[in-house]
Amino acid sequence: MEDNSEKPKGISRRKFLGAAGAAGAAAATAGFAWPLLKNESTYSASSNESLGYNFRGKHQAGVTAPRMPAGLVAGLDVRVDDKRELEQLFVRLSESIELLMSGARYEDRSGGFPPADTGLNDRADGYVPPWVVLSVGDSLFDSRFGLASLKPRELQPMPKFNNDYMVKPATSHGDLSVAIGGVTHESVIHGFRQLMRSVRGSVIPKWTRSGFNSIRPDIKPGIAPGRNLMGFKDGTANPDPQSDSSMNEIVWVQPNDLQPEWALGGTYLAVRVIRMMVEFWDRTRLNEQEELIGRSRDSGAPLGMKKETDEPRFTSFESHIARANPRTSGSEENLMLRNGFNYADGLDGNDQMDQGLVFLSYQRSLEKGFITVQRRLDGEALEEYIRPLGGGFFFVLPGPGQGSDPLGASLLA
């Protein structure tokens, strides 16, 4: 249900510009003004061009997309019988994702059929196509499809870390994962529903989490785009996803990484659903909160510094930010690109709020990236206030290239 006043359009090949200078970039894209970035209250769809993401390319565009106001991640199990059916599944998923990300219209059907879309994708309602990132999990490389020898070298089930006693199998892992980000929650829900209906019966959704981000209007690298639900700025030190050199250094698997060749252009994804004990947190002294995190709550400045952008100089390595990124010689190889979201999912069985962070990090090496960072975080004082609940490790498939290949073509070739 795109804007019916416009003719169906071809798929936009324009790359959606990302977080760096995103205000201008987003506005420049096809004449579209993103109210959240432009700090404008009106939506303008003056362009004749279809706004969307380029599905085609060396990498999946969603990995380096700007932080989005709405997000969803899901673990999925496949229930196809052999490699040929798995290929067909990837074709269907890819068709569905390309159509979704392109912003192109869904087919018109007569009223005797169910509509081909959810109805949540009307441009007049402020719909902007979401991005989707498709990843594969460790279990896809078991004996079912003969892919064991092709498993990315570091792909493994997420181990139990120090504070992981509430992590449950039912909310962890999956043969596949999809992450979706969008300007509105409806756009993300539209995306997930379209995706699942395109593969119904062949894929079982195992777990999902969805959530939100507030995004400040003057977003730029070096300052956090928003806050986590502990009320602290989150993402200050995130690398710039628009810097190809940074992304090649930190995110994308490179030819000398000793990975299977098909994996070039992909990246490792770590997903962690981390509940925060928000009632407890809200009762915690501000001094304690700031020492646990290592930043001033309000300004985001590292403790002892003045501004958020000041480089921390750690005298101890107890705080969360010091453990996560000690800024020591060599620790730059543990950098990763984070692009998660906050979540709030009602109450638990004890009338306490189930709120927290859906942490997503992309890294060229799982060992050097998330695993090393988490090992440093293991035992941190902040653990008293957080409980990981689930997630998993996945490998983000390389982009589908410029031809007509689906996602996963290099893996299943």
User: Distance (Å, rounded) from C-alpha 239 to C-alpha 227?
Assistant: 17
List the Cα angle 365/371/375 in 5-degree steps: 150
Note whether 146 and 140 are within 8 A (CB). Answer: no
Closer residue to another protein in complex, CB, 100/274: 100
Number of helices (H), then strands (E), in the chain: 10, 13
Q: How far is the CB of 95 from another protein (least distance, A)?
A: 6
Q: How far is the CB of 408 from another protein (least distance, A)?
A: 9
DSSP state of 121: -
DSSP secondary structure letters along 289-358: HHHHHTB-TTT-PBTT-SSTTSPP--S-S-SHHHHH----TTGGGG--EE--EEEEEEE-TTS-EEEEEE
- 325 burial (CB, 10 Å; 0-12 / 13-18 / 19+) is buried
User: Distance (Å, rounded) from C-alpha 212 to C-alpha 68?
Assistant: 8
Closer residue to another protein in complex, CB, 74/229: 74
Q: What is the largest CA-CA distance in the chain?
A: 69
Q: How far is the CB of 204 from another protein (least distance, A)?
A: 5
H or E element, residue 409: helix 409-412
Closer residue to another protein in complex, CB, 140/409: 409
Closer residue to another protein in complex, CB, 94/259: 94
Residues 6+ away with beta carbon under 8 Å from 401? 56, 57, 58, 409
User: Distance (Å, rounded) from C-alpha 333 to C-alpha 47?
Assistant: 42
Q: How far is the CB of 200 from another protein (least distance, A)?
A: 4
Q: How far is the CB of 122 from another protein (least distance, A)?
A: 15
Q: How far is the CB of 65 from another protein (least distance, A)?
A: 22
User: Distance (Å, rounded) from C-alpha 165 to C-alpha 175?
Assistant: 22
Q: How far is the CB of 105 from another protein (least distance, A)?
A: 10
User: Distance (Å, rounded) from C-alpha 187 to C-alpha 100?
Assistant: 10
Q: How far is the CB of 218 from another protein (least distance, A)?
A: 39
Closer residue to another protein in complex, CB, 350/404: 404
Of residues 297, 365, 318, 312, the one with CA closest to residue 337:
365
Q: Are strands 176-182 and 131-137 parallel, antiparallel or unpaired?
A: antiparallel
Q: How far is the CB of 56 from another protein (least distance, A)?
A: 10
Q: How far is the CB of 201 from another protein (least distance, A)?
A: 2
Give residue for tokens 């209250």: 41
Closer residue to another protein in complex, CB, 98/234: 98
Closer residue to another protein in complex, CB, 201/349: 201
List the Cα angle 55/57/63 in 5-degree steps: 70
Closer residue to another protein in complex, CB, 84/160: 84
CA quadruple 262, 264, 270, 271: dihedral sign: negative
Closer residue to another protein in complex, CB, 1/179: 1
Closer residue to another protein in complex, CB, 60/363: 60
Residues that bind another protein in the complex, under the rule CB under 8 A: 79, 87-88, 91-92, 94-96, 98-99, 104, 106-107, 109-116, 118, 193-194, 197-204, 400, 403-406, 409, 412-413
